[in-house]
Amino acid sequence: MVNQTVVMRGSLSEFELLDVLQCVGTSRQHTVIELQGKDGKRKGAIALKAGQVLKVEHGLRQGRPAFFEMLDHLPDVFVVYRLPDAKVYPRPLATLTHLLFEAADRSAAPPNGVAKVPEPVTLVAELPPAASPAAERTQVKAVEHLEDTSRISLSALIERAGDAQVVVAVASPKGGAGKTTITLNLALSLAERGLRTVVVDADLNGDLLSLIDAQGKVDRGVFDILDDPDQLEATLRQTTEPRLRVLPARGATIPFGAAERGDLQEVWRRLIQRTIQLCDIVLVDCPAGMFHTTRAVLGAATHVVGVFQADLVSSRSFPVFLEAVHALPSVERPKLAGVVVNMFQGRATSSIEAFHGICVDGDRHQLFDTTIPRSEAFAEATIEGLPLRVGGDAVRPVAFLFDMLAEEVCSRVGVVRKPRARPRSFLR
């Protein structure tokens, strides 16, 4: 298929199809899950967008019967790929959640019973029927492309001749939104795309080292070297991914008062300016809230990514994010790269309402198409003290969503993916 981008593939002996559906089904991108036999022959496919099932085919069947048949007769291999947005889409069959519930009802129904079929819920506006006889089905509006932000003017503080450098602050007005998890897994995906990436941990409270169970492995961090940026390279920590390094927030002791000093703006600008000279892109994990340290980081960043937790409390407090960004003087204001919805729960009414609320105002927030669902995989990775892709016996399906998010971030901030050089030989 033309212009398709493969984002995930695997064996259905290692992954559950339901897990794959729930992980990629909430994405606002046009996503297709193709099912194949061991011989590589196509057995069926499911097309999804924004939680809606657009099309299903399995063998000679199409629509709902194909969906239920597919769940009963699973093939061997799945491939997930993303397609460019279209101008129009076919009328959705139903939401993915409704089809999954309907499948559960059918399996639980008595042999001669008739399962109740829920009415399909359409979350996108319908268009009038097309004039062409070949397109008599009702069409729905495609989500418009976000404004092209690849052509941007970067801060003169971190601009090198002929080589634009990018610093992305990851921020949220509310604690517990998942900024650290988003930052770490996004950084890993960026590094695997060939970008030299540095994660700067600016959060003394919920620091990144606690997430990966590595607090005892460092003796100093960024708050310890604010007055001595010459110690930057010695403080950076290597990871198992050669292109990813981490600048911890602190060492064994908490540098009390470091986040309350009056010259935060100046020292953070100087430190970030030094850091970007060592890599292609910097991600700064900001503390909760939009003031103090976060305010200082925003003033030194070229872009900001907001993290929105899909619950009602977060939705009511999130306007503070935009207000705080726009309140910055224009010379210090980072470009809004977009907002990522995190911890989405397709079966929770409050989560769906919060998600719909931010979608209504989506243009202002410049929502990313990729949505991150709430998943036990994050808790399991935290127990292991490893990022999603690194931990576990097999790569967790939700990890591949960060590849999709990384592709969007690169596009919006103007960073070009760098191809990896192939080694000449495996043995050294």
Per residue in 83-134, pLDDT (tens digit) is: 887 777 888 888 887 888 787 777 665 555 554 443 433 333 332 333 333 3
Q: What is the mean pLDDT of residues 324-348?
A: 89
Can you give the pLDDT at residue 280?
94
Contact 292, 264 (CB under 8 A): yes
DSSP 199-244: EEE--SSS-HHHHTT-GGG-S--GGGSTT-GGGHHHH-EE-SSTTE
Q: Are 285 and 201 in contact (CB under 8 A)?
A: yes
Is residue 402 within 8 A of residue 186, CB to CB? The reply is yes
CA separation (Å) from 37 to 12, 22, 77, 82? 10, 22, 6, 20
Is the pLDDT higher at 147 or at 424?
Answer: 424
Residue 302: which of 202, 186, 153 has the closest Cα?
153
Q: Is the pLDDT of residue 48 over 60?
A: yes
- 374-396: average pLDDT: 74
Closest-CA residue to 286 (of 210, 175, 189, 370): 175
Q: Where on the phi/psi map is residue 50: left (φ > 0), alpha (ψ -120 to 50), or beta?
A: left
Mean pLDDT, rounded, for 217-239: 89
Tokens of 203: 């959060």
Report the 10 Å Cβ neighbour count for 4: 14
Give the N- to C-terminal CA distance of the chain in Å, as an integer: 39
Highest mean pLDDT among 20-24, 28-32, 161-165, 417-421: 28-32
Q: Point out the least confidently predicted range of 24-38, 139-153, 323-337, 375-389.
A: 139-153
- Region 205-211: mean pLDDT is 78
Q: Is 312 exposed, middle or buried (0-12, 13-18, 19+ CB in 10 A)?
A: middle
Largest CA distance in the chain: 76
CA-CA distance, 62 to 424, in Å (whole number)?
47
Q: How would residue 369 be classed by pLDDT, with cut points 50, 70 and 90?
A: confident
150 confidence band (pLDDT: 50, 70, 90): very low
Decide if pLDDT at 156 tops 70. no
Question: Residue 240, Cβ neighbours under 10 Å: how many?
Answer: 9
Rounded Cα distance, 262 and 180, in Å: 25
pLDDT of res. 133 = 36
Q: Which residues of 100-131 are buried (b: 16+ CB within 10 A; e: fewer)?
A: bebbeebeeeeeeeeeeeeebeeebeeeeeee
Q: Which residue has 């931010």 as its token pair?
A: 358
d(CA 239, CA 309): 28
Which of 383, 425, 398, 419 is closest to 19 using CA atoms? 398
Q: Both tokens of residue 213?
A: 């169970």
Give dist(CA 97, CA 32) in Å, integer: 17
Residues 6 or more apart from 139 whose CB is under 8 A from it? 88, 89, 90, 91, 126, 127, 129, 130
Give me the sign of the Cα torsion angle 179, 181, 187, 190.
Answer: negative
Give ranges for CATH 3.40.50.300 in the chain: 156-413
Instruction: Give the whole-number percent of the chain exceeding pLDDT 70.
Output: 79
Give buried/exposed letters for 380-414 (b at 16+ CB in 10 A, else e): ebbeeebbbbbbeeebbbbbbbbbbbbbbbbbbbb
For 10-63, give the DSSP string.
Answer: EETTTS-HHHHHHHHTT-SSEEEEEEE-TT--EEEEEEEETTEEEEEEETTEES
Q: In this structure, are strands 197-201 and 335-342 parallel, antiparallel, or unpaired? A: unpaired
- Residue 115: per-residue pLDDT: 45
Q: What CATH number should be reported for the domain whose range is 156-413?
A: 3.40.50.300
Residue 282 confidence (pLDDT) = 97
**379 contacts: CB under 8 Å, gap ≥ 6:** none
Going by pLDDT thresholds of 50, 70 and 90, the confidence category of residue 246 is: very high
